[in-house]
Structure 1
Amino acid sequence: MSTKPDPTPARGGSAGTTTGAARLRVGAARTDITPQDLTGLHPMGRPFERVHDPIHLRALVADDGTTEVALISLDLVEAGDMTPVRRRIEAELGIPFDHIVITATHTHSAPRIGDVSPGALAHAGSQQSLAYTATVYDAMLETLRTARASARPATVGTATGSADVNINREVYSDGEWILGFNPEGPCDKAVRVVRFDGLDGRPIALVVNYSVHPTVVLGTGEVSADLAGAACRHVEDHFDEQAVCLWTPGTIGDQAPRVDLGLPFGAAPDARQAERAYRAMEAQGLMVGAEAVRVAEGITRGSSTAPISAGQRTVHLPCKAGVDVMASMRQQRTETVPLRLALIRIGDIALAGVSGEVVTEIGERLREASPLADTLLVSIANDRIGYIADDARFDRPVHSVRGCPIVRGHAEDTIVGGILALLEESTR
């Protein structure tokens, strides 16, 4: 079956707007989206019983006088098809549909939002989660309005550090592939940071990109932003709550937290188990957050003339059924599944979005092929269709292959080639 590309043309500033002394303006805002009623909101495991720490929506808007883009990060396990809210943002705020990237931190101790795309392998939404989705969509619009109202002349810079908080989780044991801890497996430990400052040198926002599953406190039965939220809280506290820290998930498809205490999944842990898990969450969040701060403080000469471009495309790829996936996963049987690719380019910094949980090797291949040294792959961008495994991985029945909704030989080349094509368009 051949692939069917369906590129979405850019509007409100084409993907090729990269000339002239573009004056950068940036605004950011944060909103608490902790649900008041927890009934029916846990997409996996036993129901939520209480809130441990709040979850947030963080938004950034940037424009160069011609082109405006928006990035939204949500403390949620997954955001499904974000087409309806992106259309609403375009209609009400004028930010073009294909200039908007919405991602989730992938904390497993929070609800999901959005519809499940046909063919996608995702946790089933409930009536309550769809109602919660509507409240989050409203919050997106208001947070973007606040961010836009706060926008001011800015500079942008980027740098990379490292944190040993993740570990490959695909392990061969007793004749089968299981989820565990594989220190010999591929693992990207880079902490990639994009810093936006006002012209006074004070930070407006930081985008942090790291590759790990925030699953440290899964099993507590409590709402939590997990280690991603702990990292963002540390960054924001360090900058006296003046900066907004947006967590973007990197190549998370095969990455676990290094310290995961394995809380019981279907039964309540005892108080001491839960306390230890939260200590592990805070410690690992601190490690990534502190490294992000260290990296950010080393970015001293940002550019104020960074032209912005953006583009997206959807490619319908041959669909395969998931095998041995969680009982809460649902998949509509279809011939194809939509893979959504996105690009936000600010100067020579690229945020490359993919609508699934991408594995390490695909991210490595993309960065090696990209003409831009600062290329950040963002998983779960504008949709979450399942795991996205590289072609070679299909020789092993690992978790990321069993949970991949795309037939072998289609996803890897489509992602790398599609993002490279968007990058090429951005230079025209």
Structure 2
Amino acid sequence: MRAGAARVDITPRDLKGLWMVWAKPFSGVHDRLYARAVVIDNGIDTAALVSTDLVEFGDTTLLRQRIQRELGIPADHILISATHDHNAPRAGPIQAGTSSAEGRPYSPPSYIQLVDDAIVEALKQAQASLQPARVGVGRGRADVNIQRYGFDGKGWNGADPDGVSDKSVWVVKLESQSGDTIALLMNYAVHSTVAGADNTLITGDLAGAAERFVERHYRDKAVALWTMGPAGDQNPRYDPAAQDMHNKFASIKDANAAAFEAMDAMGLIVGSEAILTANRISDMSGTARIEAGESVFSCNTTPPRAPVQSSGPPRFAANPDFHQTIDYPKAMEFHLGLVQINQIALAGVSGEIFTRIYQHLQADSPLANTILVTMSNGRIGYVGDDASYDGPFRNASVVRGCAEQGIVSGLVELMKQHAQ
């Protein structure tokens, strides 16, 4: 096998028209954002993985078709994901039925084009740097996520430290024949929301902090890609904004500084575990069977949600610079993707998936090393397991009884098709 990796800066050059998820314009930049890419081939097949330091990415079909035209990588052999950093812009076309389509701020066409071009450039650089390589996989553990829906005896409020949560830190390591690390693909289940709504500086948040820590460890000679696991129901364990710590500080400035400290600390924990896990991987293969494919299924949507008003800006306040009206759909499409390297399955799904769906997938998967890459090739919103509809889950994008089985059976079928 051969592998190559690269990263390209996607930090906005102009903040005009770029708004936070919380309906506030960005005021500056705390740390840089990147599109990171890995290309692998074996002389017969080629596949690519892209991770972007963004809150979300719309349907990537047209972008992947462009990549196929310009680089020759098949569109169904590409997974493009967002790390879901809430203090970063969004990219890609808006998908009907999502919270962005309901009016959450989205990005102007100029920034979306910048990101698309950067992804293509990162893939070109990765492809140009292809070299003989080895691949291995490992699984560590880090406790920086927490079940976001807790029952306090009276109702569903706040986080639940004893609730279901996957602590796995998955690592796919790519190294040169001489043993130098080319790239680490990290996968962990947590929302990157530490900076919070009071901070208006662009940041990669927890995911970005982990990526930077790993890349510094390798003296910026390796690329660290963060992919989000089943984090639809997982918040950061130490979350100053969600845990009502902000009002205990003397000023918003002090509160934001504390949030950045928490962000860096949790990024260090996950990043350190990723490095330690990579160091423990001893079974490295210099050959690779590459299989990939995609499928689509649909589920009926839940009724449209009304805008939520608060004492601050409306949660779904439209970006006044770039208004777009999208009809609410009766059904939404799930995009499933598979990139399989030997016995490693990178299973992509275009939504924020709950933990129990991943547990279901692991139980049914024919491959022990099955890694769920969420927010991949699109984002349709929160996707809960069937049982979660009986609890506090009230912001589902689709009706109960469709998504969980559709995701699990669809991904398992892709694996079985490509095992033949």
Give the structure 1 partner of residue 316 of structure 2. 328
Instruction: Report Cα offsets for 1:389-422 as digits up to 9, x if no partner.
Output: 1111111242xxx222111100000000000000
Tell me which moved more, 34-43 or 409-418: 34-43
Give the structure 2 partner of residue 251 of structure 1. 230
Instruction: Work out the CA distance in 2 between the residues paired with 1:127 and 1:177.
Output: 30
Tell me which moved more, 196-205 or 40-49: 40-49
Q: Residue 387 and residue 126 in structure 1: after superposition, are their counterparts in 2 closer, same or farther (change >3 A)?
A: closer
Which of 314, 339, 349 lines up with 2:296 in the alignment?
314
Q: Which runs of no fewer than 5 residues in structure 2 stay unpaired?
A: 309-314, 319-325
Aligned residue for 2:419, secondary structure, equals coil
Give the structure 2 partner of residue 154 of structure 1. 133
Is the Cα contact below 8 Å between 1:228 and 1:247 reproduced in 2?
A: yes
Q: Residue 391 and residue 128 in structure 1: after superposition, are their counterparts in 2 closer, same or farther (change >3 A)?
A: closer
Q: Residue 322 and residue 159 in structure 1: after superposition, are their counterparts in 2 closer, same or farther (change >3 A)?
A: farther
Which of 346, 350, 367 lines up with 1:351 in the alignment?
346
Give the structure 2 partner of residue 19 of structure 1. none
Which amino acid is the alignment partner of residue 349 of structure 1? Answer: I
Which amino acid is the alignment partner of residue 10 of structure 2? Answer: I
Which of 39, 42, 48 lines up with 1:61 in the alignment?
39
Q: Does 1:50 align with 2:32?
A: no
Is the Cα contact below 8 Å between 2:20 and 2:87 reproduced in 1?
A: no
Offset at 1:335?
A: 1.7
Is the Cα contact below 8 Å between 2:49 and 2:80 reproduced in 1?
A: yes
Tell me which moved more, 411-420 or 45-54: 45-54
Q: Which has the higher contact order (CA 8 A, sep 6+)?
A: 1
Aligned residue for 2:151, secondary structure, equals strand
Stretches of 4+ aligned residues off by more than 6 angstroms: 263-268
Offset at 1:317?
A: 1.6
Which amino acid is the alignment partner of residue 31 of structure 1? Answer: V
Give the structure 2 partner of residue 371 of structure 1. 366
Q: Residue 325 and residue 254 in structure 1: after superposition, are their counterparts in 2 closer, same or farther (change >3 A)?
A: farther
Which amino acid is the alignment partner of residue 188 of structure 2? Answer: Y
Q: Does 1:199 align with 2:177?
A: yes
Tell me which moved more, 389-398 or 302-311: 389-398
Which amino acid is the alignment partner of residue 404 of structure 1? Answer: A
Which amino acid is the alignment partner of residue 81 of structure 1? Answer: D
Give the structure 2 partner of residue 396 of structure 1. 391
Which of 157, 161, 166 lines up with 1:183 in the alignment?
161
Give the structure 1 partner of residue 377 of structure 2. 382
Give the structure 1 partner of residue 322 of structure 2. none
Instruction: Work out the CA distance in 2 between the residues paired with 1:171 and 1:301.
Output: 40
Instruction: Work out the CA distance in 2 between the residues paired with 1:117 and 1:239.
Output: 38
Tell me which moved more, 44-53 or 154-163: 44-53
Instruction: Work out the CA distance in 2 between the residues paired with 1:184 and 1:35.
Output: 39
Give the structure 2 partner of residue 271 of structure 1. 253
Which amino acid is the alignment partner of residue 347 of structure 2? Answer: A
Offset at 1:174?
A: 7.3
Give the structure 2 partner of residue 226 of structure 1. 205
TM-score by length of 2: 0.91
Instruction: Report Cα offsets for 1:348-371 as digits up to 9, x if no partner.
Output: 000000100000000011011111
Q: Residue 39 and residue 176 in structure 1: after superposition, are their counterparts in 2 closer, same or farther (change >3 A)?
A: farther
Aligned length: 401
Which of 333, 352, 355 lines up with 1:360 in the alignment?
355
- Identity rate of aligned residues, in percent? 44
Give the structure 1 partner of residue 405 of structure 2. 413
Q: Residue 214 and residue 148 in structure 1: after superposition, are their counterparts in 2 closer, same or farther (change >3 A)?
A: same
Which amino acid is the alignment partner of residue 268 of structure 2? Answer: L
Q: Does 1:214 align with 2:192?
A: yes
Q: Does 1:282 align with 2:260?
A: no
Give the structure 1 partner of residue 283 of structure 2. 301
Is the Cα contact below 8 Å between 1:102 and 1:382 reproduced in 2?
A: yes
Instruction: Work out the CA distance in 1 between the residues paired with 2:349 and 2:27.
Output: 33
Which of 231, 243, 261 lines up with 2:240 in the alignment?
261
Which amino acid is the alignment partner of residue 234 of structure 1? Answer: F
Give the structure 2 partner of residue 10 of structure 1. none
Q: Which runs of no fewer than 5 residues in structure 1 stay unpaired?
A: 1-23
Is the Cα contact below 8 Å between 1:81 and 1:384 reproduced in 2?
A: yes
Give the structure 2 partner of residue 32 of structure 1. 9
CA-based RMSD of the aligned residues comes to 2.1
Q: Does 1:427 align with 2:419?
A: yes
Which amino acid is the alignment partner of residue 407 of structure 1? Answer: V
Instruction: Work out the CA distance in 2 between the residues paired with 1:257 and 1:403.
Output: 19
Q: Does 1:131 align with 2:103?
A: no
Aligned residue for 2:50, secondary structure, equals strand
Is the Cα contact below 8 Å between 2:10 and 2:35 reproduced in 1?
A: yes
Instruction: Work out the CA distance in 2 between the residues paired with 1:290 and 1:141.
Output: 30
Which amino acid is the alignment partner of residue 371 of structure 1? Answer: P
Give the structure 1 partner of residue 92 of structure 2. 114
Instruction: Report Cα offsets for 1:333-389 as digits up to 9, x if no partner.
Output: 222101110100000000000100000000011011111110000111100000111
Q: Residue 347 and residue 110 in structure 1: after superposition, are their counterparts in 2 closer, same or farther (change >3 A)?
A: same
Is the Cα contact below 8 Å between 1:110 and 1:223 reproduced in 2?
A: yes
Is the Cα contact below 8 Å between 1:109 and 1:215 reproduced in 2?
A: yes
Aligned residue for 1:181, secondary structure, equals coil
Is the Cα contact below 8 Å between 1:121 and 1:403 reproduced in 2?
A: no
Greater strand content:
1
Aligned residue for 2:49, secondary structure, equals strand
Instruction: Work out the CA distance in 2 between the residues paired with 1:226 and 1:323.
Output: 28
